Structure 1
């Protein structure tokens, strides 16, 4: 599965993974408000990757399939986002 990665303009080191750009329209408003403007970073194929910088590709894929998104927080941060 190919996914798109967006960077938060308000929260340093926070990245949002979604299946398509259209998926952004169905994200929780509270989450989008906290992230601020989203900046496209890259597209990547999760099925072809064995590793990512922080998260496990299988975890990211499962989250996108079940919730519609995966939110990557910086290492050592709390869960202060939706």
Structure 2
């Protein structure tokens, strides 16, 4: 299975995997509008890979087959200061 990977010009570090290059028919219109004009990053052979950087490769394969696309979003930003305050029990009160 080879898929096409596109990056978003609107959403930083967001990637859209589709089954074939320039085939977005199975991607919801609302998602494409939010994603913006997709920019091709690479053609990716999934069968020759055991893992992907930030995505579960089996989930990517399953969603490509079942939905026709996979959307990879960046991990949430962690506020390290707030996390530290909670860890030490800091309270303004």
TM-score range, shorter chain: 0.7 to 0.9
**Larger strand share, 1 or 2:** 1
Ranked by relative contact order (alpha carbons within 8 Å, sequence separation 6 or more), the top structure is 1
Q: Which digits, 9 at most, give the CA deviation of each residue in 1:15-65, with x for residues without a partner?
A: 000111243133211000000110000011111111111001111000000
TM-score, with normalisation over the residues of structure 2? Answer: 0.77
TM-score, with normalisation over the residues of structure 1? Answer: 0.87
**Larger helix share, 1 or 2:** 1
Kindly report structure 1 stretches of 4+ aligned residues shifted beyond 2 Å.
Answer: none
Q: Which stretches in structure 1 are left out of the alignment for 5+ residues? A: 78-82
Which of the two has higher C-alpha Rg?
A: 2
Q: Supply the RMSD in Å over aligned alpha carbons.
A: 1.2
Aligned residues: 77
